[in-house]
Amino acid sequence: MHALAIGKNLEKMFSLENKVILLTGAAGGIGEVLAKGLAGAGGEMALCDIALDRLAVVEKAIKDAGDSAKSYEMNVMKLDSIHSCVEKIIADFGRIDVLINCAGINKREGFLDVEEETYDRIMDINLKGLYFLSQDVAKHMMKAGKGNIINMASHNSVAMLGGCSVYGASKSGVSALTRSMAVEWAQYGIRANALAPGHILTPLTTVTWDHPERSKYLKERIAMQRPGTPEELVGVTVMLASDASSYMSGMMVHIDGGCLAGGTPWDYDTKY
């Protein structure tokens, strides 16, 4: 009896029912899993990406599970595409309650090898696209007097990896923009937080984890000594998207198996 009452309270607190959620990068390794997880918690998903074939597969899977999703083409590198997509979503749903900026790219290259085109592409998608999409959506949220923005940052927002200078700068920028949004838009009922995943196993990162030396190097620097899965990001994302985190703004939550905390060999002998 008591346990059931607590369960109902938890369900209500973390529910995403009646929340329209715009998710970019929804066709990606992390985006797909977040889309399904948030839809499963009751969210009405507006799925955005440039990879339309893949997006259709995600939409179908969500609908087959009895949940709500609709796909939209959005290229976050192009302001026209951002504007028209946001207008379509507003026309279809009437509002956007939660914006999740998840689209992002990386290209590993040494500092001296990066050319202007690569620099611009990473910055345009990871930082500029996030900036102007948030600006567009925030205008609608301000009219509604409420809103919630979740930005996909990274372990690289804080700790750098070789070959990721532009990516690291873009994700440090995401962390900074998250705090600016929280500060400027609190008066309009909008809060903003960032998620900073550590090393997450997706099709893009399998090559690193399959590499004997690279994976050994990484494991020794993660307290839990393993990569995370996209599924392990869902719980915190539901918390951030729901009213359970209603007094939380301007924060970056690290989900990294203790990577930021540090790492040690598990057979460490304390005598030495």
Ligand X SMILES: NC(=O)c1ccc[n+]([C@@H]2O[C@H](COP(=O)([O-])OP(=O)(O)OC[C@H]3O[C@@H](n4cnc5c(N)ncnc54)[C@H](O)[C@@H]3O)[C@@H](O)[C@H]2O)c1
What are the residue numbers of the active site?
167
The answer to whether the beta carbons of residues 88 and 139 sit under 8 Å apart is no
Q: From the CB of 30, what's the least distance to ligand X, in Å? A: 3
CA distance 169 to 262: 21
One of 150, 200, 252, 253 touching ligand X (CB under 6 A): 200
Q: Which is nearer to ligand X, 76 or 182 (CB)?
A: 76
Q: From the CB of 129, what's the least distance to ligand X, in Å? A: 6
One of 15, 172, 205, 208 touching ligand X (CB under 6 A): 205
Q: Which is nearer to ligand X, 8 or 211 (CB)?
A: 211
One of 204, 220, 226, 231 touching ligand X (CB under 6 A): 204
125 binds ligand X (CB under 6 A): yes
Cα angle 161, 30, 152 (rounded to 5 degrees) comes to: 60
The answer to whether the beta carbons of residues 32 and 49 sit under 8 Å apart is no
Q: Which residue's structure tokens are 């790219």?
A: 105
Q: From the CB of 239, what's the least distance to ligand X, in Å? A: 17
One of 14, 40, 51, 132 touching ligand X (CB under 6 A): 51
Q: Is residue 244 classed as helix, strand or coil in its secondary structure?
A: helix
Site string for ligand X, 216-245 (x = CB under 6 A): ------------------------------
Q: Which of residues 53-82 bind ligand X (CB under 6 A)?
A: 74-77
36 binds ligand X (CB under 6 A): no
Q: From the CB of 253, what's the least distance to ligand X, in Å? A: 12
Pairing of strands 147-152, 98-101: parallel
Q: Which of residues 129-168 bind ligand X (CB under 6 A)?
A: 152, 154
Residue range at the interface with ligand X (CB under 6 A); choices 21-29, 35-43, 57-65, 209-217: 21-29
Q: Which is nearer to ligand X, 69 or 103 (CB)?
A: 103
Give 13's contacts (C-beta < 8 A, 6+ positions apart). Answer: 242, 243, 244
Q: Which is nearer to ligand X, 73 or 243 (CB)?
A: 73
Give 271's contacts (C-beta < 8 A, 6+ positions apart). Answer: none
CA distance 171 to 177: 10
CA distance 6 to 8: 5
Q: What share of the chain is helix, strand, coil (3-state, %, to 5)?
A: 50, 15, 35
Torsion of CA 261, 263, 269, 272, to 10 degrees: -80
Q: Which is nearer to ligand X, 39 or 74 (CB)?
A: 74
Q: Is residue 270 classed as helix, strand or coil in its secondary structure?
A: coil
Q: From the CB of 67, what's the least distance to ligand X, in Å? A: 19
102 binds ligand X (CB under 6 A): yes
The answer to whether the beta carbons of residues 196 and 158 sit under 8 Å apart is yes
Q: Which is nearer to ligand X, 142 or 223 (CB)?
A: 223
Applying CB under 6 A, the residues found at the interface with ligand X are 24-25, 27-31, 49-51, 74-77, 102-105, 125, 152, 154, 197, 199-200, 202, 204-205
